[in-house]
Structure 1
């Protein structure tokens, strides 16, 4: 399904409701129907004209952006350097990715050919709420309980759950999302450790420590760092080996923050009690696809999903109506601000 035609809604002045001429043309790639509705509803107030397609941006459809200097893209599909070259050839000079992370775009290569890449901020509460849900489900063994109940086995498990107030939670990455997670953890009365490569103001009741100290002292390690060359496999085999026996890992950041084979081995050896993962290394082309009745083309993911103590969800911590509105509006604003420079 492709919406090739520009948005048919004429821009209006939000104060007077009079029609104005659009000042910015934006081609929106990877635009799902719910996103399209928001783009259409916001375009008049922001004075933009839109060309939208549900397809991700590729070399073959870069021509849809011809005549515009700005595009908005989804985070769901990697953008190749060849695609960036094709976009530059048709006149694109700015890419707004509807995500916080940039790991699906070679930002340095884009800059080298004259394309600026910008990200968006959106409701940190969306991911923070989801993170706390995953923590609670992990320490209360929700997956195993639901599996038994679905099989009409209503007996409690052999091992009792744990309460957050009795645990130490280590938060890796204290940006907007990590800080929102810390705010929520305060309400549970647990001890909180934090680590970030950039010094940040210390929060009340939060001890800032090195990453090695954090993994050694935490019952739960939750990851909220961006994926960069330096943070790739931040939780590697060595650090996983230094985690407390019986600890849990929660990841709503990016899959490659964890060295997946090492995590799988620690879970299978029962050195760790469980994991809750909204992102997986090698998820590209798997998450957001309907693979029912087909073999999952990622052996590590398949092994993780078989474990009763591992929760896996398909990169949807951000997936709320509030975050969607933020994402779309900020993507439009980014493009308008670029054009106004």
Structure 2
């Protein structure tokens, strides 16, 4: 009975020892093992065997990227303005042994270094430069942290300035300044829009005036061409009329010549010319000496024309009118000659 109990106890102890010597390390983690108080090994993820009661796991290190929020820091800028800066940094442990034995609290150490460097960097920058230079501050902080954490087995992946808060009065003044700047930009944009609108309107009016002038020019050209064509047609009509009249006159003369009345025709035309001259407003008519023969031959012309009848193209009533006018003018001429003789 006692022997059975002893065996059972031994079996339980063996199982406990075996369980104590088996260690399972999760993914992205490592374990630091000390043997008899001295660093012995680093256990990688998976199943690992250690000696119970001799080996001891002192720390399990997380190799994933860690995020640490730095408490808000009150700093003074170069132009003596107190501001609050909130930062956050990301780090990764690349050497578990070094980070375990070279630094006691890596997070606290990084926070302290970050706070000190924020004050140093901001002290060399004015407020406006600080507000606009977040990237510059982040780069300066990361550079200073890399120099220190290299010996701690830690890599600084990223440092970000989350927020920069100036005092309330300064913030109000900045808001007023920003509002004025926005109003200024709005006014500039509005003026630019009006200018562009005026330019476009002027361009439109210019194009309209050009098109209108082109239209008027085209209309004048077409009007001038139409007038020229009309004058040309009118001139052609007149020329045609003159040619028709000349041809008719030539035909009439040829017809008279065909009737062997050349002398009579000339006499008749001379008489018609004198008759047209007598229609003027002048009261005295000077007749050349050779015209007397024309007047004397009128009787013979009358007889010849009457003998020819209407076949010669001269009507009876027209001949009688010529007789009357001739006799009157002959009598007037005789009276004038008598008066001139008595005066002498």
Bin of the TM-score, shorter chain as denominator length? under 0.3
Using CA pairs below 8 Å that are at least 6 residues apart, which structure has the higher relative contact order?
Answer: 1
Larger radius of gyration: 2
TM-score by length of 2: 0.18
TM-score by length of 1: 0.18
